[in-house]
Structure 1
Amino acid sequence: MGNVFGGGEKSLYLSNGGTEVFIDVLMLAVSDLAHEEWDYRFAALLTLQDQNVMGRGAVGFDLQDIAWGTTPRERARSKDFVLRATALALSGHRWSELGYDPPLVRDHLHRFIAMVESFAPADAAHPAGGFPGPDDRATASCAQHRILSALPHWEGCFLCTRPGQP
């Protein structure tokens, strides 16, 4: 069982463990780069990929379901944010905080970058998918780990909710 992240004609299938690592490293990067409303909405989408909360094999998203923006400028800015965050994650940003070594995630991040780069966002502001709206953006940050989370809806960030974490 695994999860699929789609992007037009491309997709990234990840095992449950691969998904966990992929989202972990992206959340570390997104948490440090987010500063616009759209960034926090993307962070909220990532928090919904936490399998310890949502269930194993029950997550994933398609780039087509993301509200990238209504103008070419907004869509380009949103896409640039995802690419910058993914590149930051690929650099090993804050990986020392994970408590494990994620060497296989580099390939997943490279494949995700290729998928996002080749994806042409539609001009729809609100596609049918589950992209969090402005009121659902992840603006709370876990005080202990400095990671954006779904607080106050969940008890903490992905490190807080992980079994075996202090």
Structure 2
Amino acid sequence: MGNVFDGAGDSLSMSNGGTAVFVEVLWLAVSELASRPWDFRFASLLALQDQNVMGRGAVGFDLADIDWGDTPSERAEAKDFVLRVVDLALQRHRWDELGYEPPYAPTYLEHFRAMVGAFVPAPLPAGAAGDVFPGPAMAVTASCVPHRVLNALPHWDGCIFCTTGSVFPPSPQAAANG
């Protein structure tokens, strides 16, 4: 069983393990870049891709189901944020802290980036908002101190590394301070 992310007439299908890695490397990047309310809503959507909570083979989304915004400028800003998240992940942001080498992650990220780049966001039809993309009240805004990333609150207590029981190492500053 695997997971599928759709958009722009294309699909990114990954095994459960591939999906876990894809979400982890995106989580490191989104945690670094999120600053606006929409950014934290997108982070919340990524949190909902945690198979340790949602179930293996039970995650994925379609770019068309995301509330990209009501105006062309809102949609462009949201799309730019997602592209910046993927670009930061492609730069291997904090991958050295994962404790493993994700050899297929660049291929998954490049495929997803091409999908997002080709996707033309449109306003959601009336009544469709909230079905897939978390609303403002469900935005992920808390921090997971041990892992130095966003926490998955209000969905569950802990970040995607907490749910795996990760031994994600402490920051160099925390290690130096004992």
TM above 0.5, one fold? yes
Give the Cα separation in 2 of the matches to 1:91 and 1:58. 28
Look up the match of 2:114: 114
Aligned mate of 1:141, from 140, 143, 152: 143
Aligned letter for 1:94?
R
Look up the match of 1:46: 46
Look up the match of 1:91: 91
Structure 2 unpaired stretches of 5+: 169-178
CA contact (8 A) 1:44 1:149 kept: no
Give the Cα separation in 1 of the matches to 2:36 and 2:88. 17
CA contact (8 A) 2:5 2:12 kept: yes
1:153 positional shift? 4.1
Aligned letter for 1:24?
E
Answer with 153-162 or 133-142: which moved more.
153-162
Look up the match of 2:100: 100
Look up the match of 1:67: 67
CA contact (8 A) 2:138 2:155 kept: no
SS in 1 for 2:13: strand
* CA deviation string 1:76-114 (max 9, x = no partner): 000000000000000000111211100111000000010
1:152 positional shift? 5.0
Aligned residues with identical type, % of pairs? 61
Instruction: Normalising by structure 2, report the TM-score.
Output: 0.89
* CA deviation string 1:112-138 (max 9, x = no partner): 010000001112276353100000000
**Which has more radius of gyration?**
2
Are positions 1:127 and 2:128 aligned together?
yes
1:159 positional shift? 1.1
Report the aligned-residue RMSD. 1.5
Residue correspondence of structure 1 range 13-28 to structure 2 within 5 A: 13-28=13-28
Count of residues paired in the alignment: 166
Give the Cα separation in 1 of the matches to 2:154 and 2:61. 23
1:139 positional shift? 0.3
* CA deviation string 1:133-161 (max 9, x = no partner): 00000001101111112225423111111
Aligned letter for 1:14?
M
Answer with 124-133 or 48-57: which moved more.
124-133
Answer with 146-155 or 81-90: which moved more.
146-155
CA contact (8 A) 1:142 1:148 kept: yes
CA contact (8 A) 1:66 1:127 kept: no
Change (3 A) 1:152 1:131: closer
Look up the match of 1:55: 55
SS in 2 for 1:159: coil
Instruction: Normalising by structure 1, report the TM-score.
Output: 0.95
